[in-house]
Amino acid sequence: MSESPKVLLSTLMVLGAQSLEKAIPIDELALKLGIGVSELQVELDKLTGAGYAVTTRQAGRVRVYLTGTGVITASSAYS
Amino acid sequence: MALASLGHEVHVITLDFPGAPYEELQGSLYIHRVPVSAPAPSFHSWVLLFNNFFEKRVGQLAHEFGPPDVLHIHDWLTVPAGVAAKHLLRVPLVMTFHSTEASRSSNSPSTESAMVEGLEWWGSFEAARIIAVSGWMKSEVLTRLKTPEDKVEQIPNAVEPLKFEGPVDAMAARARWNVGEGQKMITAVGRLTPQKGFDDLIRAYPAIRRAVPESRLVIVGDGHMRTELESIADQEHVREVTTFTGFISDGELVEALRSSDVVVVPSRFEPFGIIALEAMAAGVPLVVSRVGGLKEIVDDSMDGIEVEPNNPSAIAEATIRILSDKELASRLAARGEEKVKSYSWENVAKRTLGVYQDAARRTKYE
């Protein structure tokens, strides 16, 4: 099992990125995870493709937040 | 909901969820969804953080409605809030174990697992009574947490058989998941995680296809293992005849089960196995792994077929038997439908009330 989607999902969850209003800029997220933005973008594409997350552009910055499905998937990893 | 239906006032405190209201009232069931208004550096520290928010909400509710007669927590995630509320409000605490960290993590030690196991023990120590969802789970609690036996009650999970009755447009449902007319639908349902053993089912599927070429495999659910499972289906050359539905609604799950020819539960570890009961309620024959709660629900060759876990050949053989023998499939399904009637929510609610009353008797504050 690949760990990276799991880590990314739970990171978005614990940072509270669960709605459009709470979406996190992906450059800040990349800093927190200690990876480059382009590397993060590859992982985010997987999450958005699977319906776990949504990316949006606000005030010139790309932001990301979890969908309900993403929240359920992140939660299920630890229960 | 079953406790509320019996006339009790039930308050459920849970996490905020996208799109759901913070407060909801259904009869005498109150749902309080709590937003966690601060970020955390890791999942485990976040759990401790949200427990603080839960504790605050319990305090607010105790002021608004009065202290509860009993507090009930589930698994490790809400132990800190439950224990704190127990001592602050001086009310009995009941804890349900649906699984344990040791079994979830396959005994692989980590600092996070040690913390979770510590919380499990703390909850079991502080609770006046413990509910285990299966005999296997009860044995886990007794042996791993050294809990006195008279503290633990085995109460199963339940299903609502009525939910599985009524007309279903099976043809439309099957078409939605690429199962054509006259084809056999093999269904597996659950989180796509290693413990569920869906990789074994996919590895079993080529043999099933050779024996039953008109079959289609439908895997319902989602999870971290999805990409890996899709790759395995590619490697086994069955990707074209396997559908991954992702998450589906409760209504669609009923349609999926009612439209299936067989449901396979290939889990490596399953503390209870609610999907086995749901398949029985839907009148579908079952193949299950001989593990945990599944082997307690299913009587082998009576109302399902049990196979050893981690064994694609055994899964294939049992699935082929059911798909090839209509009489066997009907007999297993009929007995399953009869058995599931004893797993009603009303029964579970009444037994849970008994545990609450006993917890109250055992809890004394000077």
Domains (range + CATH), chain B: 2-158+344-362 (3.40.50.2000), 161-342 (3.40.50.2000)
- Chains A, B: CB pairs < 8 Å: 68
More confident position, B28 or B39: B28
Give the pair of three-digit tokens for residue B273. 């196995």
The string of pLDDT tens digits covering residues A15-62 is 989 889 999 999 999 998 899 999 999 989 988 987 889 999 988 899
Nearest by CB to B43, from A10, A50, A68: name it: A10
Q: What separation in angstroms does the CA of B124 have from each of A71, B107, B141, B190, B362?
A: 28, 19, 8, 28, 14
Q: Which residue has the tokens 């060759």?
A: B301
Q: Does domain A4-73 have CATH number 1.10.10.10?
A: yes
Most confident listed range (B54-63, B187-196, B357-366):
B54-63
Question: What's residue A58's pLDDT?
Answer: 87
Q: Is the confidence at residue B284, as pLDDT, over 60?
A: yes
pLDDT band per the 50, 70, 90 thresholds, residue B249? confident
Contact indicator for B201, B221 with CB cutoff of 8 Å: no
pLDDT band per the 50, 70, 90 thresholds, residue B117? very high
- pTM beyond 0.90: no
Q: How many residues does chain B have?
A: 366
Average pLDDT of span B6-32 = 94
Q: Phi first, then psi: give them for residue B23, nearest 5 degrees.
A: -125, 135
| B184-189 and B215-220 beta bridge pairing | parallel
Amino acid letter, residue B348 = V
Q: Is the confidence at residue A1, as pLDDT, over 50?
A: no
CB contact under 8 A, A13 and B224: no
Question: What's residue B209's pLDDT?
Answer: 98
Q: Is the confidence at residue B29, as pLDDT, over 50?
A: yes
Q: Phi first, then psi: give them for residue A17, nearest 5 degrees.
A: -80, 75
CB contact under 8 A, A66 and B18: yes
Q: What is the Cα–Cα distance from B325 to B74, expressed in whole angstroms?
A: 42
More confident position, B223 or B352: B352
The string of pLDDT tens digits covering residues B68-81 is 999 999 999 999 99
pLDDT band per the 50, 70, 90 thresholds, residue A2? very low
Average pLDDT of span B209-221 = 97
Give the pair of three-digit tokens for residue B10. 């039930």
Q: Which residue has the tokens 């055992």?
A: B362
Question: What's residue A78's pLDDT?
Answer: 67
The shortest C-alpha distance from B195 to chain A (Å) reads: 11
The shortest C-alpha distance from B61 to chain A (Å) reads: 24
> Is B22 part of the contact surface with chain A (CB cutoff 8 Å)?
no
Average pLDDT of span B35-64 = 93
Q: Provide the 10 A C-beta neighbour count for residue B176.
A: 17
Q: pLDDT over 70 for what percent of chain B?
A: 99
Q: Is the confidence at residue B169, as pLDDT, over 60?
A: yes
* ipTM entry: 0.76
Average pLDDT of span B18-36 = 94
Nearest by CB to A78, from B36, B43, B247: name it: B43
